[in-house]
Amino acid sequence: MHIQTPRLELREYTLDDIPPLHVLLSTPSVARYQTWEPRTLAQTEAVVQEIVENQDSMPRKHFELAVTHNGTFIGSVGAKVKNRQASLWYSFMPASQGKGFATEAVAAFILLLGDVTLEIECDPRNTGSWKLAERLGFTKVRFTEKDFECKGEWVDSLVYQKYAFQDGLQTIMEEADS
């Protein structure tokens, strides 16, 4: 899998990505609203090993692509697909946030996932995450107070959804109407 966007390249991980991914996954602000603590190097190695193993599974249910800008690793986008429902995740290096890179990468990535309902779950305090969902046209479908216990606290949860081909279908329907 390989995607080129105006500014970014999304490509399959290799074991060479362990050092840059580890910088990302060991950053406290990146882990803050995720279910995991900043990763140790051994944990990042296991993560990349699993990502690489999943690349060959058929049918493929786990997708995770490295995002690069001018050849430099800046973030990661992923999805788990089950029963035509895709749960999405994304993380970007702090220095590469606030530039629209995450929106550009996720928008391209979801087109690869086919005929699925896309879902983003996030902590409501994770403003960057829910703003990204709204920027991509996702609809807020659920808010659950104190949804689950995570890293020693009860956290609220926001769920956003979007049908993958929503925009495309709208365009087709608008063209058919005119």
Ligand X SMILES: CC(C)(COP(=O)(O)OP(=O)(O)OC[C@H]1O[C@@H](n2cnc3c(N)ncnc32)[C@H](O)[C@@H]1OP(=O)(O)O)[C@@H](O)C(=O)NCCC(=O)NCCS
Which C-beta is closer to ligand X: that of 117 or that of 173?
117
Q: Are 132 and 103 in contact (CB under 8 A)?
A: yes
76 makes contact with ligand X (CB under 6 A): no
* Structure tokens belonging to residue 19: 């050092």
Q: Contacting ligand X (CB under 6 A), which of 8, 102, 118, 158?
A: 102
Q: Are 18 and 48 in contact (CB under 8 A)?
A: yes
User: Which residue's Cβ has the minimum distance to ligand X?
Assistant: 100
The residues, ordered by sequence, that sit 6+ positions from 7 with a Cβ below 8 Å of its Cβ are: 69, 101, 104
Binding residues for ligand X, total number by CB under 6 A? 20
44 makes contact with ligand X (CB under 6 A): no
Which C-beta is closer to ligand X: that of 54 or that of 126?
126
The residues, ordered by sequence, that sit 6+ positions from 97 with a Cβ below 8 Å of its Cβ are: 128
Contact residues for ligand X (CB under 6 A)? Answer: 30, 33-34, 89-92, 97-103, 122, 126, 128-129, 131-132
